[in-house]
């Protein structure tokens, strides 16, 4: 009798805790967490200058980011391309380039995605987290473990 009671309690507890995980797996966003969907100004982590505007949007339950504007392109090359990129991104114009993809919500952050650095063409694992009441986006690119990587902070476009 004690075993049956224990199994019933276990099923009830596990069942209630698995609903949010099932919702996340189905691509349902937790509305209590500020959304990263929108336009973000990318800020160079060395110079502090705004380089571009990236539009983050939902695509089939995951997030992707596309460069929609360059802030100060070189006048000698007003339509630069991703010359260091490989594969389908090679030599694509930076404006319109998908640089962020495959992120899904995990609690208060979005993980499991990838980001490409157009300056060197390298692709990294990525996670993002909205901060400062929805006005700042922490973008972490890394190889292997999040410990080995780089963080940038993007600002929501006003």
pLDDT for 99 beyond 80: yes
When pLDDT is averaged across residues 67-75 and rounded to a whole number, the result is: 94
Looking up tokens 């157009």 gives 118
pLDDT for 6 beyond 50: no
**What was the pLDDT predicted at 7?**
33
More confident residue, 46 or 77: 77
Q: How far apart are CA 81 and CA 91, in angstroms?
A: 5
Per-residue burial over 112-136, b if 16 or more Cβ lie within 10 Å, else e, is ebbbbbbeeeebbbbbbbbeeeeeb
Q: Encode pLDDT of 111-142 as tens digits.
A: 999 999 999 999 999 999 999 999 999 999 99
Q: Contact at 8 Å (CB) between 103 and 110?
A: yes
Mean pLDDT across the chain = 84
Among 8, 7, 10, 33, residue whose Cα is nearest residue 20: 33
């Amino acid at each position: 009798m004690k075993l049956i009671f224990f199994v019933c309690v276990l099923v009830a507890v596990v069942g209630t805790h698995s609903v949010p995980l099932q919702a996340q797996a189905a691509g349902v966003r937790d509305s209590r967490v500020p959304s990263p969907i929108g336009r973000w100004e990318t800020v160079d982590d060395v110079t502090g200058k705004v380089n571009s505007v990236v539009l983050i949007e939902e695509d089939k339950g995951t997030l992707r980011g596309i460069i929609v504007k360059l802030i100060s392109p070189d006048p000698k090359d007003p339509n630069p391309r991703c010359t260091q990129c490989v594969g389908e991104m090679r030599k694509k114009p930076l404006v319109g380039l998908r640089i962020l993809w495959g992120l899904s919500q995990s609690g208060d952050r979005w993980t499991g995605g990838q980001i490409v650095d157009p300056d060197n063409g390298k692709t990294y694992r990525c996670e993002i987290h909205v901060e400062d009441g929805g006005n700042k986006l922490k973008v972490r690119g890394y190889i292997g473990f999040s410990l080995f990587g780089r963080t940038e902070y993007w600002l929501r476009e006003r």
